[in-house]
Amino acid sequence: MNRFALVCAFLLLFPIFAMGDENVTIDTSRGDAMIAEYFRVETARLQDACLAEIQSADDWRESKQQYRDELLEMLGLDPPPERTDLKPVVTGKVDHDEFTVENIQFQSRPGLYVTGNLYVPKNVAGKLPTILYVCGHGRVKKDGISYGNKTHYQHHGGWFARNGYVCLTIDTLQLGEIEGIHHGTYSHDRWWWLNRGYTSAGVEAWNCLRALDYLETRPEVDALRFGVTGRSGGGAYSWWIAALDERIKCAVPVAGITDLQNHVVTGCVEGHCDCMYMVNTHQWDYAKVAALVSPRPLLISNTDTDGIFPLDGVYRTFESTRRIYSLQGAADQVALNITAGGHKDTQELRVHAFRWFNQHLKGDDSLIEKTAVKFFEPEQLKVFQELPSDEINTKIDETFVMLANSELPASNDEWAKERDAWRASLQEKCFAGWPKDAQYADSREVFNVVNDGVRFRAIDFTSQESIELRLYIVERAELDRRDLVVLNVLDAKGWNEFLAEMRVGFEKQLDGETLPSGDAATFKQTQRMLKSTAWTMAYVAPRGIGPTAWDQSARKQTQHQRRFYLLGQSLDGMRVWDVRRAAQSLRAVEGFTDVPLWLQSERQMAGVALYASLFEPEVTRLDLHDLPRSHRDGPFFLNVTRFLDLPQALAMAAERSRIALYGDDPAAWNYATQVGELLNWDSKQLQIRKPLADDAE
């Protein structure tokens, strides 16, 4: 007896699939074209909306703090972390004829160490203008020992010190003396970062904020004349700190910004790690980050053939930013500097940056005479002789953004309040990328055929602009009154199994699909089930699966998921929308409007179906197989674990729909079962059962 027979015995309707060939070559041309157009349309939507509501200086003044609060949230800094004791330590000094370098470390949070070099001119008279220099990705490593990217960029600190500035050059998380991780989604498959609302950009922003706190304690530093600069990754961190903290009076981000069109459509995202990006909950384009520096002096600096910060996007960002400066009567405080070259730290870029700081922090417009030169060996600038045992740099992604409190409610009223708050948070913070007030054309029947007593039809529907999906319906040929329709939500494995079954009776209708070997036994079981019941089985493969699968290479799969993330979405979050639209389209088919609807799925897609049920009315039941115990293993939605995890979502769903959950760890779902006890659910409302075997005897 196979799994389907067991399900029929319990009226659980597990999908009627059998394993087919898994290693098949898929034609992805349709999916590639679809997703490219989708990214273009969605990018244009965000691009058009960026700062469109700002038409006057008053508009900007009224909105600026809200934008800053949103940016703090998208960097994981809301609520704001406690500004704990920095515990600064100078571990050594290096001498030069014109300046001294102090090798320093401080803790931006307990155990989160920041290593840096403080360049202080000799013969200091009074307090000096001070530059925070944030480093790009310049690895310096010898014999397995990391010296920090501060040693790579030391020539900038030296120049500032030789020209009358204090300069603090700090290491970044990934390339510092303690080597943390920037590349969570880029190359480590840490998609749970999305769930937590975590980005390594937030750590860099926080370290910059605390670096300013440290500089304010130094007697040589004029805290009213802070500037910030850096290139590449350092250019990005310059944006974060300048946008967030008005202690920065002058900024020169170098090769650190372009717009969504370049990142998403042109493909620059594929050349950038996660430290370049906020979690785009509020669906910004990057000109809004730049505008937050206004009306303070800002020089946007770039080269003309930089492949990962292309000139057209840099210029579009500058134009949008200049408009906000102009509304405030400060057009002369923002400038664009373009020099020749690729993505390199060139002397031409440095000279313009140095002159900008001299002009705005020192009132000095004289010529630049001294060049930026490296004076020291990396060993001289190293902070730690032995790395601290209490460091959390290497695991900061686990704690930087807090997880939700999962305590059980104490009463029905408390549950209702929490549930409603979760629902609002899901809509506003996790699924804000769903279409709003969209109008769709009617769905279209593609084919409707009968073979050996089974009716098989397909209906194409629009999930959202540029996303066209197909809904398959299987039922008894002459069925005129349906007792039940089950919508099966397919992942890639489920899609392959579906094809293996349906090609037996309907190979012609599946023309164009890459078909696995047919499974006649399962098709016969389907025939018997349909003959004896008034049930209809429906199937949908959300975007990126089956008919709309795109490039299957690991790189493209990763980078397309990151594109969704940049747009303030997640691939799984938009698949929830696809399931909602499939349910809506199914109800719109003649004869299905009032038929009880069940949802059914497996593995990570079971989580997608679960969340779809929270937003669709009258889902009578869910059958969920191998549902992940936590969002840590998917599905991946922006910010979700800041509010709830899968056990809490299961409780929300079970309050609305009956659920049969198949899994081997009932204790993982204690939260939901205990909520059921609090609310006095019927014993059938949430049933947790052992997994069904594929080939039970």
For 392-414, the pLDDT digits (tens) are: 999 999 999 999 988 999 999 99
For 34-75, the pLDDT digits (tens) are: 999 999 999 999 999 999 999 999 999 999 999 999 999 999
H-only helix segments in 11-90: 29-49, 57-74
Kind plus residue range of the DSSP H or E element containing 230: strand 221-231
Nearest 5°: CA angle at 326, between 323 and 328? Answer: 120
For residue 8, name the pLDDT band (cuts at 50, 70, 90). Answer: very low
Lowest mean pLDDT among 24-28, 369-373, 584-588: 24-28
For 130-144, the pLDDT digits (tens) are: 999 999 999 999 999
For residue 12, name the pLDDT band (cuts at 50, 70, 90). Answer: very low
So what's the pLDDT on residue 26?
Answer: 74
The hierarchical CATH code for the domain 77-398 is 3.40.50.1820
Q: Does residue 5 register a pLDDT over 50?
A: no
Distance from C-alpha of 213 to C-alpha of 475, rounded to nearest angstrom: 68
Q: Does residue 695 register a pLDDT over 90?
A: no
So what's the pLDDT on residue 653?
Answer: 98
So what's the pLDDT on residue 452?
Answer: 93
Q: Does residue 125 register a pLDDT over 90?
A: no
Q: Which residues lie closer than 8 Å to 61 by C-beta, 6 or more apart?
A: none
Neighbours of 626 (CB within 10 A): 16
Distance from C-alpha of 32 to C-alpha of 44, rounded to nearest angstrom: 18
Nearest to 182 by CA among 102, 273, 259, 91: 273
- What mean pLDDT do residues 102-123 have? 97
Domain with CATH 3.40.50.1820 in the chain: 3-45+431-689, 77-398
Neighbouring C-alpha atoms within 13 Å toward the C-beta of 176 = 29
Distance from C-alpha of 339 to C-alpha of 347, rounded to nearest angstrom: 10
Q: Does residue 580 register a pLDDT over 50?
A: yes
- Tell me the average pLDDT of the chain: 94
Q: Are 619 and 650 in contact (CB under 8 A)?
A: no
Q: Does residue 21 register a pLDDT over 80?
A: no
Q: Which residues lie closer than 8 Å to 79 by C-beta, 6 or more apart?
A: none
Q: Does residue 105 register a pLDDT over 90?
A: yes
- What mean pLDDT do residues 346-367 have? 94
Angle at which helices 520-532 and 492-506 pack, to 10 degrees?
Answer: 80
SS3 per residue for 493-532: HHHHHHHHHHHHHHCHHHCCCCCCCCCHHHHHHHHHHHHH
So what's the pLDDT on residue 25?
Answer: 66
For 607-639, the pLDDT digits (tens) are: 999 999 999 999 999 999 999 999 999 999 999
For residue 24, name the pLDDT band (cuts at 50, 70, 90). Answer: low
Q: Does residue 246 register a pLDDT over 60?
A: yes
The DSSP bridge pattern shows strands 535-540 and 597-602 to be: unpaired
So what's the pLDDT on residue 648?
Answer: 98
For 162-192, the pLDDT digits (tens) are: 999 999 999 999 999 999 999 999 999 999 9
Domain 3-45+431-689, CATH among 2.60.120.620, 1.10.287.1080, 3.40.50.12780, 3.40.50.1820? 3.40.50.1820
pTM of the shown model: 0.95
Nearest to 383 by CA among 163, 629, 117, 569: 117
So what's the pLDDT on residue 20?
Answer: 38
- What mean pLDDT do residues 540-568 have? 97
